[in-house]
Amino acid sequence: MTRLVLLVALVASLAGCERLGLGNGFGIGRDRQAFDGQNYRGTARSERGDRKSFTASVRPVSASLEGAIQAAEYEGVKHCIKFYGTSEIAWAVGPDTPREQLPIEGDTLTFSGVCVE
């Protein structure tokens, strides 16, 4: 009986993650985060030999430029925390870049930066 109660509590708590924008609650299928009320698909990439330098890309920018900027910054922070345990980033192109200078190709925004240890 105790195991059943624990299982129900676990499923209920994970199901709540969807409402918070943390995925589908079960870690299956969705890799989108909500920013400015929109969902974005994002990635951060780096070379194996140099994880400090990375690019972070998100789409669709057409949903909201401000949301896409927040989502790309989030991807960069997530990358640096994963590999270096810090959220500090020296952005080459990032959230402070003037909007008219942001690299948007198709419907994808790409930031680049270096994790600061």
Domain ranges of the chain: 1-30, 32-115
More confident residue, 3 or 91: 91
d(CA 93, CA 39): 22
pTM, entire model: 0.73
Burial class (CB in 10 A: 0-12, 13-18, 19+), 41: middle
The tens digit of pLDDT for each residue in 33-85 reads 689 999 999 999 999 999 999 999 999 999 999 999 999 999 999 999 999 99
For residue 14, pLDDT beyond 80: no
CA 66 from centre of chain: 14
Strand pairing class (32-35; 104-105): unpaired
For residue 8, pLDDT beyond 70: no
